[in-house]
Amino acid sequence: MISPLSVVSPDAQIGNNVEIGPFCMIEPEVSIGNGCKLDSHVVIKSGAIIGENNQFYAGTVIGGPPQHISALPPFGQIHIGNNNVFRENVTVHCSLKESGATLIGDDNYFMISAHIAHDCVIGNSNVLVNNVMLGGHVVIGNRAMLGGAVAIHQNCRVGSLAMVGGQAHVVQDVPPFVTVDGLTSKIVGLNQIGLRRNGRTSEDLKILKGAYFSLYRSEMTWKEIQQFFQDNYSTGPVAELTQFILSTKRGIVRERAASRSQLRVAEVDESGIERSDAPPTLRVNVG
């Protein structure tokens, strides 16, 4: 069903059971797969190849020239897989080069005003929360979570099952399976909840913890770390992490520095003496 208030090029290929709401614009050289739904004011520009059962909310713009001062036509394409959700005002730009493409896989959820720049590569089942900004050539793995207003510098990568906290600014690669603190933009450990939810066993987590300590807490040089992972973690639950650190070009995000001191907080009675029957004391990190 196509609203009579929309403009759809006769050169666009529209699949079966596609719904196009009012005030949409579909340019030539566009392909929209079966079962897609476009709310009002959606723009799909030339060069977009879209799979099946994708949903585009109001104000979404798919395509258009890359935001690059050296951008000159002809530009490349955008390839979108199946079952993705693009909430209001999401923008996705085409490739900077005619032979290239911005790539989006399946089952991703892009929340309001997320921006995917030219030549990004996004895997499957990722969640990008409101106002996430991806620079050009950013690569996102599978089942990653990027919190609100996260900014990823161009040419950086975010590994699978990584969780990046809101407002983090990422200028190096985020390895798979880790959590980035939004306040400091540093690694704060494994994404254990996400790993468990995605079927990783207790034994997997034990192995991953050992690998994490080797990566961030050892005194090895970077080259020694890469060799160590290649020798010891080329298969099994750490294999994806090994391939990631062997292929990084920008280096990886550092771990957040440990607290400089700790404050011991204990329960005391009226005379100021610590109670013998008090529960275990709370240790609060400060500094």
The catalytic residue positions are 118-119, 136
Give the separation between CA 80 and CA 30, rounded to whole angstroms. Answer: 12
Q: Give residue 146's region: left, alpha or beta (phi > 0; psi -120 to 50).
A: beta
Residue 54 per-residue DSSP state: -
Give the separation between CA 95 and CA 88, rounded to whole angstroms. Answer: 22
The owner of tokens 């921006």 is: 115
Q: Give residue 47's region: left, alpha or beta (phi > 0; psi -120 to 50).
A: left
Q: Contact, 186 vs 256, CB < 8 A? A: yes
Read out DSSP for 115-152? EE-TT-EE-SS-EE-TT-EE-TT-EE-SS-EE-TT-EE
Kindly compute the dihedral angle of the four CA atoms of residues 8, 52, 240, 161, in this order, to the nearest 10 degrees: 90
The owner of tokens 């935001």 is: 67
Secondary element (H or E) of residue 197: helix 192-197
